[in-house]
Amino acid sequence: MAEVLVYVDHVDGAVRKPTLELLTLARRLGDPVAVALGAGAGATAGVLAEHGAVKVLTDEAAEYADYLVVPKVEALQAAVAAVSPVAVLVPSSAEGKEVAARLALRITSGIITDAIDVEAGESGPVATQSVFAASFTTRSIVTTGVAVITVKPNSAPVEAAPAAGTVEALTVTFSAQATGTKVTGRTPRESTGRPELTEAAIVVSGGRGVNGAENFAVIEALADSLGAAVGASRAAVDAGWYPHSNQVGQTGKSVSPQLYIASGISGAIQHRAGMQTSKTIVAINKDAEAPIFDLVDYGVVGDLFDVVPALTAEVNTRKG
């Protein structure tokens, strides 16, 4: 059967959920061969095998952490040469997209970014994209070379499908370009203990209506009652109430959870661009005319400082 390369997003060997989703999609196209790079790459094999990887190509060279993007491109290029895959799937993170793009150019292949679904088609993989702030859905194919496709988180279920997961060392020879951009410092993001924003099944977001950094405790309490991630609008981020890494929208994270709860967010197009593909949308806003209400499955017109704590209390009661 044809092989499909899957680029593994992991932190020190801990595989992130979007990669496991890619393995589900890859199995529709062929046998998944995973490529794991950097410190801890070898430790990813177990979980990748449980999810269908027939083979795991690893290389733990320091270059992947010490230089930007290009070493990873050269590793994938080596993997493509070793495996001759029918497709290359990469998680749609900012970095994943850059790696995929440069790989595509090097192997003379077209690239499709931010797919929300991938299926086998007559002339190769067909990718579905959700574009123009999710107002259109397109289906596209790569017509030249091997289909290089980046896929958004939450686009497929994570399914167990045990496979061999044989670990093989990938031999990569870096070019002069690979060491062009040096990483001179790195500050890891502090963990909040909450789920990753892009991977969470539920996201609870606050906007300008939250009216102050200290008031985000109200949003966090609801999130914690639901086991959710916390998001924020750009207005809340720009005001310094919440970190930029939690921003949802065009220039923040794009999320697609089962449930999205927006509190004190008006629903500007740039915010919608990052959350409109959420399965169920709920809004709490004191302005009945707020555009966010056009999107909702359920909306409460009211003061978030009344509604959100009441909801949190109710959730906690029902749980307990």
Partner 1 sequence: MSLRIVVTVKYVPDATGDRHFADDLTVDRDDVDGLLSELDEYAVEQALQIAESSDDEVEVTVLTVGPEDAKDALRKALSMGADKAIHVEDDDLHGTDAIGTSLVLAKAIEKAGFDLVVSGMASTDGTAGIVPALVAERLGVAQVTLLSEVAVADGAVSGRRDGDAASERLSAALPAVVSVTDQSGEARYPSFKGIMAAKKKPVQAWDLSDLGIEAGEVGLEGAWTKVEAAAERPARTAGTIVKDEGEGGKQLAEFLAGQKFI
Q: How far is the CB of 55 from partner 1 (least distance, A)?
A: 26
Q: How far is the CB of 13 from ligand FAD (least distance, A)?
A: 31
Biggest CA-to-CA distance, the chain: 61
Q: Are 284 and 267 in contact (CB under 8 A)?
A: no
Q: Which two tokens stand for residue 270?
A: 């740039």
b vs e for 206-231, b when ≥16 Cβ sit within 10 Å of the residue's Cβ? Answer: bbbbbbeeebbebbbbbbbbbebbbb
Contacts of residue 217, Cβ cutoff 8 Å, sequence gap at least 6: none
Q: Which two tokens stand for residue 317?
A: 């009661």
| AA identity, residue 257 | P
| AA identity, residue 210 | V
Which is nearer to partner 1, 188 or 193 (by Cβ)? 188
- With binding defined as CB under 8 A, does residue 2 bind partner 1? no
Segment interacting with ligand FAD, rule: CB under 6 A, options 13-21, 73-81, 212-220, 302-310: 302-310
- With binding defined as CB under 8 A, does residue 100 bind partner 1? yes
Contacts of residue 193, Cβ cutoff 8 Å, sequence gap at least 6: none
- With binding defined as CB under 6 A, does residue 266 bind ligand FAD? yes
Closest residue by Cα to residue 207 from 129, 304, 280: 304
- With binding defined as CB under 8 A, does residue 193 bind partner 1? no
- With binding defined as CB under 8 A, does residue 280 bind partner 1? yes
- With binding defined as CB under 6 A, does residue 247 bind ligand FAD? yes
Contacts of residue 190, Cβ cutoff 8 Å, sequence gap at least 6: none
- With binding defined as CB under 6 A, does residue 174 bind ligand FAD? no
Task: For residue 276, give the 3-state DSSP assignment.
Answer: coil
CB atoms within 10 A of CB 110: 16
Which is nearer to partner 1, 50 or 199 (by Cβ)? 199
Q: How far is the CB of 273 from ligand FAD (least distance, A)?
A: 7
Q: How far is the CB of 267 from partner 1 (least distance, A)?
A: 12
Segment interacting with partner 1, rule: CB under 8 A, options 23-31, 49-57, 164-172, 307-315: 307-315
Given candidates 40, 42, 46, 110, which one binds partner 1 under the rule CB under 8 A? Answer: 110
- With binding defined as CB under 6 A, does residue 154 bind ligand FAD? no
Phi, psi of 80 (to 5 degrees): -60, -45
Binding-site string for ligand FAD from residue 89 to residue 118, where x marks contact by CB under 6 A and - marks none: ----------------------xxx-----
- With binding defined as CB under 6 A, does residue 137 bind ligand FAD? no
- With binding defined as CB under 8 A, does residue 211 bind partner 1? no
Which is nearer to ligand FAD, 77 or 128 (by Cβ)? 128
Say which DSSP state 236 is in: H
Say which DSSP state 195 is in: P
Phi, psi of 314 (to 5 degrees): -65, -40
CA distance linking residue 319 with residue 220, whole number of Å: 17
Given candidates 106, 250, 259, 315, which one binds ligand FAD under the rule CB under 6 A? Answer: 250
- With binding defined as CB under 6 A, does residue 271 bind ligand FAD? yes
Task: For residue 264, give the 3-state DSSP assignment.
Answer: coil
- With binding defined as CB under 6 A, does residue 299 bind ligand FAD? no
Binding site for ligand FAD (CB under 6 A): 111-113, 131-132, 207-209, 233-236, 247-252, 264-266, 268, 270-271, 274, 284-287, 290, 303-305
